Structure 1
Amino acid sequence: MKNVLGPEGPLVVDGVLYFVGWMGNTLSKWDGHRTTVLHTDPACGHNGLALSKQRTFLLACTDDPGAILELSLDGKLLRRWDTTDKGARFVGGINDIAVAPDGGAYATVFGPYDGVGPPGELMGKVLYLAPGAATWREVACDLNYANGVGVSPDGKTLYVSQTVSGSILRFAVGPDGALTHRANFALLDSLVPRRNPSPWLGPDSLKVDRRGDIYVAQWFGGKILKLSPQGKLLRVFRIAAGDGTTNVAFDAGERHLYVSVVKDARDPKAVGSVVRVENVR
């Protein structure tokens, strides 16, 4: 997919590629022949995308204050959340969403970002929606621009990327979805050389495969980093289509990666694409 305005949130469902455009405010699908826009909302800033156990989409709206949408596979709005269980708005914008093996879901709150200014107030959070619950609750706070989020295959570990600090955190997940034992999991500058001096160079969204390996998109880095559950760098996938890698998804057999990437991370229009690369083990 080319000429996507703010490519993000790739997701493969039943052989169909879904993706969003945060600058275009769209959710689209590509069936191998044509692209179809399924949902638009000019006040959303479509970002992370996840598939629930009910086979609906959970969509992150990154426009501040953010929102979380539940959509049918054909793009129909089923539900919208604008606040936590305490009535707090999603100030800082919702960035990414991941669904746990038990059907619960986690979402990240990012922070103030206009594409040109330096990082601002630390307001990153992790929110949790328990299986069958009606509201999201805060389970972690004071994160340095919380971005990607992923859950281990056994549901016992949560990974959260902090874009500005260039780090990925690890949490232990409790039976009620609560997070404990916050720890540093990976520091990107210790794994790969910095490609750009931008303070925004860091981990963007991430995904966890069936083996428990973590795939991290590096904004301003032009690459996907594959890490073991112990934080060891296993492989670097260099993405020729641009330096603004934002997210990654797998096909059904995890043989290929679908990578959303902005050609030039400094481009205010964030023009980019979704590309497919072989997932080398």
Structure 2
Amino acid sequence: MTRLALAAGLCALFTACATKPQVAALTPAIPGVVSGGTPIEVIKEGFAGTEGPVTLPDGSLIFTETPANRITRIADDGSTSTWLENSNGSNGLGFTANGDLYAVQVLKTRVGIVHPPERARTLADNFEGAPFGRPNDLVVAKDGTVYFTDSGARLGPNDPKPTVTPAKPAVYRITKQGQLQRLADDITRPNGIQLSPDEKVLYVANTAGEHVLAFDLGADGKVGPKRNFAKLAGFRQTDTGPSSGADGLAVDAVGRLYVASTAGIQVFEADGTALGVIPLPKSPQNLAFAGRDKRTLYAVGRGSAYRIAALTSGLTERAK
């Protein structure tokens, strides 16, 4: 056996085998965000679903393969490995300051801690007796408050009808005291959710809408009225209704908002001004900053994972 064949055989035994990422495209210039001509690297394709990216303390990234019921890690060298099996169909992820990994989960619909195993527990699985339809994304505030979305049950033509009517699509908060509160139930399809760096604004992506939505958060816990924050490119009418494809959200250290959508990665100033779009080979579903200095922007979607060297950095005081 040649050395090359032996190396290939050993590589096949390990899921963490690294391959050099391929360059799929180059970015346009977005001042303060990316230089023009920055490579968009394809880390890997063929994942079983791609959602929920969040950084680990060592700068590596984990994301969810929801249909495969696992959480996958991307190391700095681009290698991938299974980080957690049997994730209960985890979708969006978020860490607390003490290292608890919170996840919205879709096999048994609930929100709770999935890691470490000795602290795993359910925080909420229904609202006023109605089970969640399809919890989608979450963000954990610095004080441990959890904000999450439930996009609502989306049954296929062959799926059995639920025996209990699920809760309608909504945005929720779980306080640090463990109280579940519904913040909004008038958004057609709430999806990605994010907090501004100062945690005074809550952003929500409405996949069926033309705008990213925002709610002002008071120091007393009060939530202001819903408002249109930024207009999305790529909004269109489809056979199933209007759609922008707006999905996961990220913020950088200076408060710019990043939106995964049909158009690509859309970037907005903190006042809602559109700065530009980074087109990707496949429409992204979610995104996050990672790397040891959090200056690498990762995007996942449609079974693929990408990364881009950024001019800015993500937040250091929160995992995302």
Q: Which TM bucket (shorter chain)?
A: 0.7 to 0.9
Q: 2:120 aligns with which of 78, 102, 108?
A: 78
TM-score (ref. length: structure 1): 0.81
Q: 1:260 aligns with which of 288, 300, 304?
A: 300
Contact kept, 8 Å, 2:174 with 2:180, in 1: the verdict is: yes
> Residue type matched to 1:124 in 2?
P
Of residues 207, 210, 226, the one that matches 2:250 is 207
**2:179 is the counterpart of 1:139:** no
Contact 1:50 1:58 in 2 (8 A): yes
Q: Which has the higher strand share?
A: 1
**1: distance between equivalents of 2:156 and 2:211?**
20
Counterpart check, 1:250 vs 2:289: yes
Structure-2 residue corresponding to 1:53: 97
CA distance in 1, matches of 2:181, 2:305: 32
1:124 and 2:169 matched: yes
Deviations 1:192-214 (A, max 9, x none): 24588464442111112221111
Instruction: Write the deviation string for residues 218-247 of structure 1: whole angstroms up to 9, x where unpaired.
Output: 0xx15110111111111211112x13x110
Q: 1:276 to 1:60 in 2, by over 3 A?
A: same
1:163 pairs with 2:207: yes
Q: State how far apart, in whole Å, the 2-side matches of 1:160 and 1:239 are.
A: 22
2:86 alignment partner in structure 1: 40
Residues 10-60 of structure 1: per-residue CA shift (max 9 Å, x gap): 11212222110121121122334440241314xx43211111122111111
Alpha-carbon distance, 1:77 to partner: 6.0
Identity of counterpart residues, as a percentage?
A: 28
Partner residue, 1:276: 307
Q: 1:186 to 1:70 in 2, by over 3 A?
A: same
Count of aligned pairs: 256
| Inter-partner Cα distance in structure 2 for 1:61 and 1:162 | 19
Query: Where does residue 65 of structure 2 map in the other structure?
Result: 21
Change in CA separation of 1:115 and 1:15 when aligned onto 2, cut-off 3 Å: farther
Measured against aligned partners, the alpha-carbon deviations of 1:156-199 in whole angstroms (never above 9, x if no partner) come to 111111111232111011234332122111221xxx24588464
* CA RMSD, Structure 1 to Structure 2 (Å): 2.6
Does 1 or 2 have the higher relative contact order (CA < 8 Å, sep 6+)? 2
| C-alpha separation in 1, matches of 2:52 and 2:59 | 16
Corresponding residue for 1:265?
A: none
How far is 1:87 from its partner? 4.1
Cα distance in 2 for partners of 1:250, 1:90 equals 32
Distance 1:167 1:36 in 2: 35
Cα 1:114–1:83 change in 2 (3 A) is closer
Shift of 1:2: 2.7
Structure 2 unaligned regions, length at least 5: 1-43, 159-165, 313-320
What SS does the corresponding residue of 1:180 show, helix, strand or coil? coil
Structure of larger gyration radius: 2
Change (3 A) 1:77 1:20: farther
Q: For 2:297 and 2:60, locate their aligned partners in 1 and report how far apart those are by CA, in whole Å.
A: 14
- Name the counterpart of 2:276: 235
Letter in 1 for 2:81: T
Aligned residue for 2:136? Answer: 95
